[in-house]
């Protein structure tokens, strides 16, 4: 009698932010390994036409969109293709996707503070969360860690820097860690003077030298707010005091981050700047997926540069320390003010340097406060936004 080899059960994924850049990377990995991964629920924002084609291709059992009008358009288009998939709307829709009973893992790739509630709901439901929405960790890292610990769910980093640190920490006792070093490309204005930065337009800020990303994160990279948010994210993901987290500018974006150990050894993760790598690592963990993608050719690159981050020209890196000293309220205010300011900058209402000025103004208004519930956190986020009106 022979053995019956059962196929490995496929991992069922609920994907939030399906039409964004992380969503696309995730679906690329899923389609390379159809026997390993299946998308059972999918949430998108306003790009309904793309969501229609994704739903036709991946056939999830549940969909969500941002707006009511999108939902009817989606339902009708799917009906035309003979598909009947329930479509939900707004935050309740995103939460339904995040807690979809069939899902084993949630890829949380929405943009901004709206990503927090679904990420929280997924962890509370005991689902592992591959987290690209750094705002969740920035606003509620303490709470999300507590919820994950209580349900046994894992939070898996998708941000390229945090994935690199996760990989460099693998198998090492925590007490050996001296510091975490987050690399930053420095964005398109790395060599600009403050006077030059005062003049930059949203279109210029949208031209990132290395990464193809959505508008919010691209502008955050130009101000280095993205790196500042990543310091807070790392603080909670790896449970390390912020004083042990540093930023190093590395324009080629090949070394994705580093861990320095107490003996002076430094471990880094390197790779081409392609978000499919961190996505594949999180989905495959602890295994590595064999990806047929262009490989890193260091000889062809020849040289890697590292430059000390300039806190004067990039006030985000100074302000984040102030935010961290102000506890949960500081981190929430930092994030909320940045979101408000980025939107104003995109609308042409404020200049580029006023983004960090807006954040500083918000931080000056904040009193140190720590929060233990999601409601308190979301209420405080709203209060900060109102203060800035
Ligand atoms: Mg990043």
What is the average per-residue pLDDT within 176-200? 95
pLDDT of amino acid 214:
84
CA of 83 to the centre of ligand 1 (A): 37
pLDDT of amino acid 213:
78
Report the predicted TM-score, pTM, of the whole model to 2 decimal places. Answer: 0.94
pLDDT of amino acid 215:
87
Q: How far is CA 85 from CA 42, 75, 79, 91, 115, in A?
A: 11, 7, 9, 18, 23
Q: How far apart are CA 41 and CA 9, in angstroms?
A: 17
7: confidence class by pLDDT, cuts 50, 70, 90: low
Look over the chain and give the mean of its residue pLDDT values, rounded to a whole number. Answer: 95
Long-range contacts, stretch 20-24, CB < 8 angstroms, 24+ apart: 20/45, 20/109, 20/110, 20/111, 20/214, 21/212, 21/213, 21/214, 21/275, 22/107, 22/109, 22/132, 22/158, 22/275, 22/279, 23/107, 23/109
Write out pLDDT tens, residues 68-78: 999 999 999 99
Query: What stretch of H or E contains 268?
Result: strand 266-270
Domains of the chain and CATH, by start: 11-157 (3.40.50.720), 161-273+301-387 (1.10.1740.10)
pLDDT of amino acid 1:
47
2: confidence class by pLDDT, cuts 50, 70, 90: low
pLDDT of amino acid 3:
61
What is the average per-residue pLDDT within 52-77? 96
Write out pLDDT tens, residues 181-191: 999 999 999 99
CA of 169 to the centre of ligand 1 (A): 17
CA of 132 to the centre of ligand 1 (A): 9
Q: How far apart are CA 18 and CA 173, in angstroms?
A: 36
Residue 388 clears pLDDT 60, i.e. is over it: yes
Residues 296-335 as b or e (16 or more Cβ within 10 Å = b): eeeeeeeeeeeeebeeebbbbbebbebbbebbbbbbbbbb
CA of 183 to the centre of ligand 1 (A): 9
Contacts of 155 (CB under 8 A, 6+ apart): 123, 128, 129, 131, 137, 144, 145, 148, 237
CA of 333 to the centre of ligand 1 (A): 20
Q: Near ion ligand 1, which residues have CB within 5 Å?
A: 159-161
CA of 127 to the centre of ligand 1 (A): 23
pLDDT of amino acid 8:
56
CA of 224 to the centre of ligand 1 (A): 11
């Amino acid at each position: 009698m022979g053995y019956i080899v059962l196929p490995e059960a496929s991992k069922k994924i609920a994907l939030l932010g399906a039409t964004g850049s992380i969503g696309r990377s995730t679906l690329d990995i899923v389609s390379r390994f159809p026997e390993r991964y299946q998308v059972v629920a999918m949430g998108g924002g306003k790009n309904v036409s793309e969501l229609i084609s994704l739903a036709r291709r991946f056939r999830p059992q549940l969909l969500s969109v941002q707006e009511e009008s999108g939902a009817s358009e989606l339902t009708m288009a799917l009906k035309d293709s003979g598909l009947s998939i329930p479509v939900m709307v707004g935050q309740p829709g995103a939460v339904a996707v995040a807690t979809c009973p069939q899902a084993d893992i949630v890829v949380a790739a929405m943009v901004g503070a709206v990503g927090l509630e679904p990420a929280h709901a997924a962890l509370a439901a005991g689902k592992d969360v591959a987290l690209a929405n750094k705002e969740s960790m920035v606003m509620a890292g303490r709470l999300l860690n507590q919820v994950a610990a209580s349900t046994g769910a894992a939070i898996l980093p998708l941000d390229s820097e945090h994935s690199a640190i996760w990989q460099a920490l693998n198998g090492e006792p925590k007490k050996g860690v001296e510091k975490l070093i987050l690399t930053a490309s420095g964005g398109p204005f790395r060599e600009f003077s403050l006077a030059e930065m005062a003049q930059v337009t949203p279109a210029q800020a949208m031209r990132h030298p290395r990464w193809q990303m959505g508008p919010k994160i691209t502008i955050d990279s130009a101000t280095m707010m993205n790196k500042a948010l990543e310091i807070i994210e790392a603080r909670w993901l790896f449970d390390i005091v912020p004083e042990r987290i540093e930023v190093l500018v590395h324009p080629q974006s090949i070394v994705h981050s580093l861990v320095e150990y107490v003996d002076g050894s430094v471990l880094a993760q390197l790779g081409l700047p392609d978000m499919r790598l961190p996505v594949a690592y999180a989905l495959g963990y602890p295994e590595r997926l064999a990806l047929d993608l262009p490989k890193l050719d260091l000889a062809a690159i020849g040289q890697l540069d590292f430059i000390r981050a300039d806190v004067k020209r990039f006030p985000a890196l100074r302000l984040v320390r102030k935010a961290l000293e102000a506890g949960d309220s500081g981190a929430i205010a930092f994030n909320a003010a940045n979101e408000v300011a980025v939107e104003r900058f995109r609308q042409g209402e404020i200049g580029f340097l006023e983004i960090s000025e807006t954040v500083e103004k918000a931080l000056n208004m904040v009193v140190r406060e720590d929060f233990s519930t999601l409601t308190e956190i979301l209420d405080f986020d709203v209060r900060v936004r109102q203060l800035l009106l």
